[in-house]
Chains A and B, each alone.
Chain A
Amino acid sequence: MNMEINPLGLIAALTAFVSIWAGHVSVRKIEAETIQLWKPVLIAIALGIGLEIVALTITNRSLSTVFGILGITLLWDALELRRQAKRVRKGHAPANPRNPRHAALLAEPNTHATPLNILDRNPVGRTVSAEEAILLVK
């Protein structure tokens, strides 16, 4: 039986996994450190579109696949930067007190923003109140 191995799927899987992971980490870090969010958003969009254009010009399928996937995840990261900012405002992601943009959110009256990462713990298997949620991560 001729079982020819086609590595393209594995290449795509590795590219997708690494770029999703890198995007995940970068979005959190960049959003936490950046004051003017439009700058990294614009850079991510430009890089994403640029990589898609490169993917269109390359005939080699492996490289075209890599650039195609990287470009799309960068465009997704641009969207996630804005979603992350909303999460910080809602208290669903930790605010960075050293970032003036986040500090302003923390200083708002009745703010939901918090420097705590409410998700930084193991699950306990039941619902918890807002107060207990804070205690569990402190």
Chain B
Amino acid sequence: MNPFGLIIGIATLLIIGLGFPLVIRGERYLGYTWWPYMMGTGTLIVILSLFVRTDWLSVITGVLGATFIWGSTELKEQAVRAEVGWFPFNATKIKPPFESTIKKWKTPHL
């Protein structure tokens, strides 16, 4: 019996669970236009995982990075949920650097 995969599965569940407040609170206080920074952070975390020698730590790092990348694609929809009143709407979000440029790009949504 090799418990590695099962333990990783359970750890993945917890990290994915963290993804929900990441998106909900991230959108509430920062706004969906932070998506490139969330996607970039996730990508850097995944790249970092390549240099982690300990297997379980490398996997956790990788899954955390993937959660940030996935989260970046969920921000736009969460923004609309807040606008229609399904989640609290915050009118005083912290704007990201280069927001006007980011708004010209197509926001990713899977």
Chain A residues near B (Cβ < 8 Å): 3-14, 16-17, 20-21, 24-25, 52, 55-59, 61, 63-69, 71-73, 75-76, 92, 118-119, 121-128, 130, 133
Q: Which residue in A73, A76, A92, A127 is a CB contact (below 8 Å) of B89?
A: A127
- B50 partner, pick from A9, A76, A119, beta carbons under 8 A: A9
| Smallest CB gap from A137: residue in B | B80
Contact B16 A20 (CB under 8 A): yes
The reply to whether the CB of B26 lies closer than 8 angstroms to some CB of chain A is no
Q: Cβ of B32 and Cβ of A92 under 8 Å apart?
A: no
Closest 9 CB pairs of A and B: A9-B49, A55-B5, A9-B62, A68-B5, A64-B5, A9-B58, A68-B9, A13-B62, A72-B9
The answer to whether B3 touches A56 (Cβ under 8 A) is yes
Residue of A nearest to B46 (CB): A13
> Contact: B13 with A16, CB < 8 Å?
no
Interfacial chain B residues near A64, Cβ < 8 Å: 2, 4-5, 8
Q: Say yes or no: A124 contacts B50, CB within 8 Å.
A: no
Binary contact track B45-82/A, C-beta < 8 Å → 1, others 0: 01011111101001111110111011000001101111
A29 to B93, CA, bound (A): 34
Residues in B whose Cβ lies below 8 Å from that of A8: 49, 55, 58-59, 62
**Distance, CA A55 to CA B7, complexed state (A):** 10
Residues of B close to A12: CB separation below 8 A: 8, 12, 49, 58-59, 62-63, 66
Given contacts A6-B49, A56-B6, 11 further A-B contacts (CB under 8 A): A5-B50, A8-B59, A10-B46, A16-B16, A17-B70, A52-B6, A57-B1, A65-B8, A123-B76, A123-B79, A128-B83
A130 to B84, CA, bound (A): 7
The answer on a CB contact under 8 Å between B46 and A9 is yes
Q: How far is the CB of B105 from chain A (nearest CB, A)?
A: 12
Cβ contacts under 8 Å, B4 to chain A: 55, 61, 64-65, 68
